[in-house]
Amino acid sequence: MTPNNESELQQFVQITSPKYGCILMRNNSGACVDETGRMVRYGLGHTSPKQQFKSADLIGITKVLITQEMVGTYIGVYTAFEIKKPEWKPTKKLDAHEIKQKNFLDWVTANGGISAFIKSLDDLKTIFRN
């Protein structure tokens, strides 16, 4: 079955990722005003509307086998995937929101994590090279 929209794809990615040693959790983020009138921000790293990154839809850990000096030891690698509609084009000019998402994904990758925009299950397979 092929996912038809972003919500279905997100669910398929969460269901499929364990076969690659990856467990992902939904990272809901946003803001609302509470009953006292105070602005409450929620979600990983969502502290200010002025921040230069926006955390990914799915956050988790991928189990990776270390070689050589730590033979046989597994470590958990921080993993972040931003889910996009199947028709989304990664080559188009990114809007301001997508730039903040890309900044977050680039930060994760630069620090040894696994991250990507995902618009299909094929993207997930490519990331894990299976």
Instruction: Please give the CATH number for the structural domain made up of 6-127.
Output: 3.40.1350
DSSP H helical ranges for the chain: 6-16, 96-110, 121-127
Which residue do the tokens 């398929």 mark?
Answer: 12
| Of the listed ranges 9-13, 69-73, 111-115, 126-130, the one predicted with least confidence | 69-73
Sorted by where each begins, the domain ranges of the chain are 6-127
Question: Do 108 and 80 meet the contact criterion of CB atoms below 8 Å apart?
Answer: yes
What are the pLDDT digits (tens) for 28-57? Answer: 988 999 999 999 998 888 888 788 889 999
Determine the pLDDT at residue 4: 82
Determine the pLDDT at residue 79: 97
What are the pLDDT digits (tens) for 87-110? Answer: 898 888 999 889 999 999 999 999
Mean pLDDT for the chain overall: 91
Q: Distance between CA atoms of 56 and 115, rounded to whole angstroms? A: 9
User: In this structure, what DSSP letter does residue 35 have?
Assistant: T
